[in-house]
Amino acid sequence: MSKAYAEGSGRNMGITIRKAVKADLDGIAKIYEHIHTEEESGRACIGWIRGVYPERQTAEAALDRGDLFVEELDGRLAGTAILNQIQVDTYRDAPWQYDAPDDQIMVMHTLVIDPYAPKCGLGRAFAAYYENYALENGCPYLRIDTNAKNTNARRFYEKLDYREIGILPCTFNGIKGVDLVLLEKKLTETVQKPKRQSQS
């Protein structure tokens, strides 16, 4: 755990997920740098490459589209992801179990949790937010991808009931020789909206 999180590392941690703003870009870029450092040191195996993907420009483009989200832990930036309905070309010929219309599919891209943040369910919280966000936007079909070498991510998504439907070799986000694991999930629950209080 880094010193930046040490003071707020008690039991009652507050996790907040929201749309990113321009002021978040420096913090997001630092998280990308942290994950690249972990990869280069051999402490993580994700399949990303510094200077290729993800980089600050990745976040800037998502911010411009309005689909960049951040996760805060006790007010400190601890994670980020891109949530939208953009399906990369590799998805086109994939053997998806659910032949869903494009306007009912939500995709999560580039989920990154700061490796120096406390281990307190940040990834699960972001995944839950993604699923709720998808339902709120009329998208019960979820699609995600990850590098085949990223075994931690594959186990993580398996525990959340995502199904691996194929592994496709490709060049992905500028990185050559990627074996891209495609995952999907169909949501059946509806979003529970808060009840309105009756006015007396």
What is the tens place of the pLDDT at every residue in 79-99? 999 999 999 999 998 999 999
**173's tokens:** 């986000």
Phi-psi label, residue 138: left if phi above 0, alpha if psi -120 to 50, beta otherwise = left
More confident residue, 190 or 72: 72
For the chain, what percent of residues have pLDDT higher than 70? 88
Q: What is the mean pLDDT of the chain?
A: 91
**74's tokens:** 């006790």
SS3 135: helix
Give the pLDDT score at 190: 57
Instruction: Tell whether the model's pLDDT for residue 5 goes beyond 80.
Output: no
Give the pLDDT score at 8: 42
Domains and CATH numbers, the chain: 12-142 (3.40.630.30)
SS3 116: coil
Reported as a single tens digit per residue, the pLDDT across 27-43 is 999 999 999 999 999 99
The answer to whether the bond into 140 is cis (omega within 30° of 0) is no
Reported as a single tens digit per residue, the pLDDT across 149-163 is 999 999 999 999 999
Confidence band of 6 (pLDDT split at 50, 70, 90)? very low
